[in-house]
Amino acid sequence: MKNTSFHRIRFEFTSQFLPPVFILVFIIGLLVNGWGLKSLLHNWKKLKIINVFVLNLGLADILYLLTLPFLVVYYYMKEKWIFGDAFCKITRFCFNLNLYGSIGFLTCISVYRYLAIVHPMRVMGRLTLTHSVRISAVVWFLVSVQSLPDMFYRKTSVNNTEKCYDTTHKTYVDDYLKYSLGWTFTGFCIPLLITLGCYGHVVVVLCRTNATDKELKQRCLKLLFIVILLFSVCYIPYHVLKNLNLWSRVLQKQKIWCKWFNGVYVAHQISRGLVCLNSALNPLVYLHGNEDINAQLRQLLQQARQMFSRPPPTNSVGVPMAPITDGRCRK
């Protein structure tokens, strides 16, 4: 596996790729999450169990989106961090809270859908708004506990004015790889298996039960598609490539060079761009987890259609005016 020849890694790719992605996600994510949270808070008195999880999902997105302008400045400056070591750690901590908080609340939504469809009589009256608030607090606590050790790893260079590592300095990369693998298993793999198990069972039940409302089937299948999309595009590539990239750094530290290092590095940076898209894609869950927001969206679309399909202006008699196509008079 050893190779004495040096294979160049395109570190400049990060500064070229991530800033435009972060700007796009910041604008879209702030707009759609702001609109979704406003709609939820406007109907606070009618807040339902699943909406509590959706609300926390939106808060996790907003928390991360507010850090993106600082990261855009960092990467536009060719990875020179000027905001200090403490804020570097806070920025990376917010990313982890968003990532694993989103996974956690998506898992809660999946379990709730499973119980409501597969075991409706058993949970009727037993799941209350208070339970969902407590479960949300537990999710935030578990995600914080999992993410807290990350803050004790060095995130900046020695002089504290250059790099702001999303993982850690090369000195500690061996230990960080072990921590990352355990974190991936508890924070990602277990929730993924729970989510797939819940929706898999739900799909089987819906397909076997002919009496089930067709609209309910469609909503559940659409939500299943959204969750699979989020995991396939945002979460799975990121976790796989993050750990591969850490392993390549461990090998580099041992003076072992392989041809695949550059490919893994570039792919990992692309996966970092994809994983931040979850803050712009999560609001899709709003449309299927909240009936009020769905109704508001349909109303907005109906108003837009009416606006573009207005009849042509009429004269004083009420007869539509013929369009003038040239300067000549017509009878």
What pLDDT sits at residue 2?
A: 46
Residue 228 counted as domain residue: yes
pLDDT attached to residue 173: 94
Residue ranges making up the domain that contains 41: 12-297
Tell me the one-letter amino acid at 166: D
Q: Which amino acid is at 13?
A: F
User: Does 246 fall in a domain?
Assistant: yes
In a domain, residue 108? The reply is yes
Tokens coding 143: 């995600």
Number of structural domains in the chain: 1
Torsional class of 125: left (φ above 0), alpha (ψ -120 to 50), beta (otherwise): left
Task: State the Cα–Cα distance between residues 272 and 14, nearest whole angstrom.
Answer: 10
**What does the pLDDT profile of the chain (331 residues) look like in tens digits?**
444 444 678 888 999 999 999 999 999 999 988 887 777 777 666 667 778 888 899 899 999 999 999 999 999 998 889 998 899 999 999 999 999 999 999 999 888 888 888 887 777 777 788 888 999 999 999 999 999 999 999 998 766 557 899 999 888 999 999 999 999 999 999 999 999 998 888 888 877 776 556 776 777 777 778 888 889 899 999 999 999 999 999 999 998 888 899 999 999 999 999 999 998 888 777 666 555 555 554 554 565 566 666 555 555 455 555 444 444 444 4
Any domain includes 183 = yes
**pLDDT for residue 331:** 40
Q: What is the pLDDT of residue 324?
A: 45
Residues 6+ apart with CB under 8 A from 324: none
Which residues partner with 320 through β-bridges? 314
Does 256 map to a domain?
Answer: yes
**Any domain includes 302:** no
pLDDT of residue 47: 65
Position 2 in a domain: no
- Could you tell me if residue 128 is inside a domain? yes
- The CATH number of the domain holding residue 85 is 1.20.1070.10
d(C-alpha 118, C-alpha 121), whole Å: 9
Of 224, 247, 290, the closest CA to residue 49 belongs to 290
